[in-house]
Amino acid sequence: MTGAVFLPDAAATEALGRSLAPVLRAGDVVLLSGGLGMGKTSFARGVLSALGLEGEAPSPTFAIVQPYAPPETRLPVLHADLYRIEDAGELEELGLADALYDSALLVEWPEQVPRSYWRDPLCLTFAAAPAGGRCLTWDGSAAWERRWRPT
Neighbours of 74 (CB within 10 A): 17
Beta partners for residue 107, in sequence order: 31, 80
Of 40, 45, 79, 134, the one binding Mg ion (CB under 5 A) is 40
For position 37 contacting ligand ATP by CB under 6 A, the verdict is: yes
User: Judged by CB under 6 A, which stretch of 38-46, 86-94, 113-121, 137-145 contacts ligand ATP?
Assistant: 38-46
Nearest to 126 by CA among 143, 108, 114: 108
CB of 40 or CB of 148, closer to Mg ion: 40
> Considering only residues 13, 33, 41, 125, which one is a binding residue for Mg ion as defined by CB under 5 A?
41
112 touches Mg ion (CB under 5 A): no
Q: Residues with Cβ < 8 Å from 33, sequence gap 6 or more?
A: 40, 109, 110, 111, 123, 124, 125, 126
> At CA 77, angle to CA 56 and CA 133, rounded to 5?
50
CA distance 81 to 131: 28
Radius of gyration of the chain (CA): 14
**13 touching ligand ATP, by CB under 6 A:** yes
Is residue 45 part of the contact set for Mg ion (CB under 5 A)?
Answer: no
Using rule CB under 6 A, residue 12 touches ligand ATP: yes
Site string (51-90) toward ligand ATP, x via CB under 6 A? ----------x-----------------------------
61 secondary structure, DSSP code: T
Give the Cα separation of 41 and 19 in Å (integer): 15
**13 contact choice in Mg ion, ligand ATP, none (CB below 5 to 8 Å, kind-dependent):** ligand ATP
Interacting residue ranges for ligand ATP, rule: CB under 6 A:
7, 9-10, 12-13, 34, 36-42, 61, 108, 133-134
Interacting residue ranges for Mg ion, rule: CB under 5 A:
40-41, 59, 108
